[in-house]
Amino acid sequence: MDPRRSVDLRSLPLVGRFVRAFQDRLTARGRFLFGTLVAFSFLGLDALTTRVYLLFAIAFGLFVGAFLFGFRARPRVRLSGGAPARATAGTPVTFHVVAEGDAVPDLHLAFPAPPGVKIEPAEAPGPKGVATLLALRRGRYEVRGARASRADPLGLFLTAAERLPDRALLVYPRFTPLDVFEIPVGRRHQPGGIPLSSNTGDSVEFVGTRDYREGDPIRAIHWRSWARRGAPVVKEYQEEYFCRIAIVLDTFARPGPGFERSISAVASIADFFSRSEYVVDILAAGPDVYEVSAGRSLAYLENILDVLACLEPCADPPFQTIGPAVFERLSSVTTVVAVLQDWDPTRLDFLRRVKAAGTSVRVILTREGLDTGAAAEEFDGIETWRADA
């Protein structure tokens, strides 16, 4: 075995389960006593010159007594509440857990927290617990369910616990709500109309019927009207023209805070558009182009933030591999808001191709000090993102 490598006992199946269960049973006071017990065990090795072994014996007796109390039956309670499913990075969220059932005077409610998430208080006595959750960074976390158990008289060791189910926590990027965000707007024909843009499926806007003409598809026939009139009749649909906006996110993983700042910028812009009448698409440019289509009839901001919470940067510049499918998707878009971390000929070429398709372009740079030269005159605005990231 390489002596430089350390072995994590918790990575071993049986030992790991034992260590995890032992840690769960100890209270904060019990963990302190256990650490003191370990320290006394080393300090008292030389019994001829020190009497620390007496302190070890007292601490060991207390610990064994508390350990034996831990074999009592678990409390007969039913838990409700629990940690939230969503939060925003840097914003505290308060949640409640209630234990209903038999009265247990020594009941303890505990709230385990995964790395990167703070939950306070970690332990709270009584049948009702209030805790504050604070996640420092966006992402997806597995939060273990709150647990209710009984404690020994000294509050050192806990019995087996009733638990709430574990749940996933999505932490949204922190963002600043915008009061104003001006973009050049226009109107384009949207195949399928508002229903297709706002919902899933292939429905379109039905406005009436007309007589059958040669070449009309059979699926457009209105059978009831045909039966009533005795002549073929087809359904007629309304063509829709309205503003559709695409926010294109640069996901290249360059050193520095640029990627997280870009995520926050997209979240702020999407939040602004969620209060408008625009139809918005999010395109995350990477090895695979991630797309979130958001219609006006949906609470789409939550869907967008769900994706942004888990989005990872890519190792290669994405705009070199964007293919015709993306430009075909952008053909129905009236305005593109491009959130970029850098400025180079590849990105400039991408924006020019979008502009040549008849789409207005506004560029947001999340890195300061970039020289765009005379490119600002080609598009409908280039600016550096200065909102809090």
Average pLDDT, the chain: 78
Picking from 89-93, 224-228, 247-251, which range would have the lowest pLDDT averaged per residue?
224-228
Q: What is the pLDDT of residue 10?
A: 46
180 compared with 386, residue with greater pLDDT: 180
Q: Which residue has the higher pLDDT, 160 or 295?
A: 160
The closest alpha carbon to 362, from 170, 163, 186, belongs to 186
Q: Does the pLDDT value for residue 152 go beyond 80?
A: yes
pLDDT value, residue 198: 43
The string of DSSP codes covering 269-295 is HHHHHHTSS-EEEEEEESSS-EEEEE-
Q: What is the mean pLDDT of residues 252-256?
A: 70
Q: Which residue has the higher pLDDT, 172 or 55?
A: 172
Give the residue-averaged pLDDT of 68-81.
87
DSSP state of 166: P
CA nearest 113: which of 79, 87, 80?
Answer: 87
355: enclosing H helix or E strand: helix 345-356
Question: At CA 327, angle to CA 277 and CA 342, rounded to 5?
Answer: 85
CA 368 to chain centre: 27
3-state DSSP assignment of residue 382: strand
* pLDDT band at 299; cut points 50, 70, 90: low
- HSE of 52, CA atoms in CB hemisphere, 13 A: 13
- Is pLDDT above 80 for 217? no
Question: Can you point out the beta strands (E) in 122-200?
Answer: 123-125, 128-135, 139-143, 147-150, 162-163, 167-172, 188-190
pLDDT at 238 over 60: no
Look-up of token digits 């090895």: 287
Interval 17-30 mean pLDDT = 78
pTM of the shown model = 0.71
pLDDT beyond 60 at 300: yes
Assess contact for 358 and 327: CB atoms under 8 A: no
Query: Which DSSP symbol is given to 361?
Result: E
Q: How far is CA 63 from CA 19, 66, 123, in A?
A: 17, 5, 19
pLDDT value at position 206?
Answer: 54
Query: From the CA atom positions of the chain, what is the Rg in Å?
Result: 31
How many angstroms separate the most distant Cα atoms in the chain? 114
Contact 357, 233 (CB under 8 A): no
Most confident option among 38-52, 139-153, 371-385: 139-153
When pLDDT is cut at 50, 70 and 90, the band that residue 166 belongs to is very high
- Give me the pLDDT at residue 264, please: 92
Selected residue with higher pLDDT from 386 and 296 = 386
pLDDT bucket at 200, cuts 50 / 70 / 90 = very low
Place of tokens 């809090």: 388
**In this structure, how many other beta carbons lie within 10 angstroms of the beta carbon of residue 33?**
20
CA distance 113 to 120: 9
pLDDT at 210 over 80: no
d(CA 247, CA 340): 11
Q: What percent of the chain has pLDDT over 70?
A: 79
- pLDDT of 193 > 70? The answer is no
**9 pLDDT above the threshold of 60:** no
Cα 250 to Cα 263: distance, rounded to the nearest angstrom: 9
What letter represents residue 287's amino acid? Answer: P
Residue 295 has what pLDDT? Answer: 54
